[in-house]
Structure 1
Amino acid sequence: METAAHRRAWWTVLVLCGSMLLGSAADLRAGTLLSPGSAALVRKSAEPFGVFAFAISTGNLHQKWFALKDKLDGDMVQLALCDGDRDNCASPAALKLLAIVDQARTRDGRARLGETNRAINLAIRAANDGADDVWSTPLATFQRGAGDCEDYAIAKLAALRLAGVAADDLRVVVVRDIRAGADHAVVAARLDGHWLMLDNRRMAMVEDEDARTYQPLFVLYPSAVMRYVDEPVQASGSAGRQVSLITANAEAR
């Protein structure tokens, strides 16, 4: 017969297992339980588009993001140094990006986000990387003066961080543009509990719930790549052949 002590022991095991899988409520709110390979689910209210996501540790997207991360950290150091000493900054690209940051710092809230979105959209010429799909750092993008959707997004991420937006309120989100039949990357910025999409295809920002032609695929943190639980609809025919390398090579299963 099962004793009270046995029941308590089993209950303790179940609680520990649940804690390892889901983490504490504080961890989920802060988004700290995000080590690559973790099976932790982020609460539905925590992420853009309100969809559950889980960390992945393999796939082309994971490799690209973590290969970029060290270079991005280097750019942020160089930008910070130039920010503190403009006269001795040897990087025209850094000065051009910092000019956008300066304008953003004069604004607050939604105006700061909108200023950054518009200014970077205007500063970079849209250009397709083709089959290579190179993910560039902000300084490389501004030096080139051109980039594709993820290059815009990465530059906006850096500019917003320098302008004072908290890292926990920023995400790079990879979506499926259902109307265009292709994958796309945007920055999501949280403001007053709502996620706004900073998109190189439009000057005006829209909330995630209003971006109805975008189906979320991945959300990128500094420390992890998260895959949304909902699978993208499998396209067929010519639309299916247009799937970009971002999703086609992200073998996360």
Structure 2
Amino acid sequence: MNLQRFNKSIQQKRCHIFIVAAFLAVSTLYAAPTQQLDANKITSTLAKRYGERAGLRAKAWFKVVAEAQKLPEKQQLEKVNQFFNLFRFVDDIVLWGDSNYWATPMEFIGVNGGDCEDFSIAKYFTLLQLGIPEDKLRITMVKATSVNQYHMVLAYYETPGAIPLVLDNLDTKIKPATQRGDLLPVYSFNGKQLWLNKEKGRGVLAGSSSRLEKWNDLKNRLGVDRLRQPKLNME
């Protein structure tokens, strides 16, 4: 599969299962993982840009991160997965007026929701912030056979040869990939590498993740200076 087909796969993916939050979801994320975060700046910026409740979500995210710092990795996965799966699901075209917009974690938190890649990206950067090595994490494009749509999840590899655990907003329970027969892996990536996936393992290395245009654009927008305003207010 060549680069053009990678980008076409991204453009075609849509997540059409509607996830309704049981409660008001709360959290936030700053620019780069493992750096010292300025809680006051993040909270005030989100509140000013998206409203008072966005600031409350920021405070709650900092609380979750603080509570998870000393937990074992698998408990960190559970805490982060549960937290973000409270957010609302909404299609990009409805929320942003764009058929395929990859929101930054701060945008996702600020507007109180997003679609499948936004859930996965927010979980990815939060787990990096908690100190989980990047090599253990991959954002993974799959075909969700239950809805016949492209979908995105986060995969966690405890060891290089392990069957990954899947963090998903459709099936909210973390399960090994071998128990997710409804997901057919297409490709996966992290901050360093890109893999083609032909089975529920690690896949075949296909180069740097910088080959993905959407990923490059997302990284350039991390932080507090380029927050986008949504078309839909979900508060």
Identify the residue that residue 179 of structure 2 maps to in structure 1: 210
The residue number in structure 1 matching 2:170 is 201
Q: Report the secondary structure of 2:169's partner residue.
A: coil
Distance (Å, rounded) in 1 between the aligned partners of 2:111 and 2:125: 17
Output the TM-score relative to the length of structure 2: 0.61
Question: Residues 215-226 of structure 1 correspond to what in structure 2 (within 5 A)?
Answer: 215-226=184-195
Aligned position for 1:228: 197
Aligned match of 1:125 in 83, 88, 97?
A: 88
Q: Within 1, Cα distance between the matches of 2:120 and 2:102?
A: 10
Give how far 1:225 is off. 3.2
1:47-95: CA deviation from partner (whole Å, max 9, x where unpaired): xxxxxxx8x544426988xxxxxxxxx8227x8342xx43454433654
Quickly say closer, same or farther: Cα 1:104–1:62, change in 2 above 3 A.
farther
Matched with 1:174 is 141
| Matched residue type, 1:60 | N
1:124-178 deviation per Cα after TM superposition (whole angstroms, max 9, x unaligned): 2111113611111100110111100000000000000011111000000111011
Structure 2 distance, partners of 1:62, 1:200, is: 20
1:135 aligned onto 2:91:
no
What is the number of equivalent residue pairs in this alignment?
A: 165
Equivalence for 1:110: 74
Which whole-Å CA distance do the structure 2 matches of 1:194 and 1:223 have between them?
A: 20
Among 115, 125, 131, the residue aligned to 1:158: 125
**Structure 1 CA distance for aligned equivalents of residues 181 and 41 of structure 2:** 46
CA contact (8 A) 2:155 2:164 kept: yes
TM-score, with length taken from structure 1: 0.57
Which one has a bigger Cα radius of gyration?
1
How far apart in 2 are the matches of 1:182 and 1:62?
A: 11
Note if 1:80 corresponds to 2:35.
yes
SS in 2 for 1:186: strand
Any idea what SS the aligned residue of 2:138 has? strand
Q: Which deviations, in whole Å up to 9, do the C-alpha atoms of 1:177-224 show, x marking residues without a partner?
A: 112111110000112534110001233110011111110011112134
Q: State the superposition RMSD in angstroms.
A: 2.9
- Quick one: distance in 1 between partners of 2:157 and 2:8? 23
Contact 2:163 2:178 in 1 (8 A): no
Q: 1:187 to 1:215 in 2, by over 3 A?
A: same
For 1:211, give the aligned amino acid.
Answer: R
Structure 1 runs not aligned, ≥5 long: 1-53, 65-73, 231-245, 247-253
The answer to whether the Cα contact below 8 Å between 1:116 and 1:159 also exists between their aligned partners in 2 is yes
SS at match of 1:174: strand
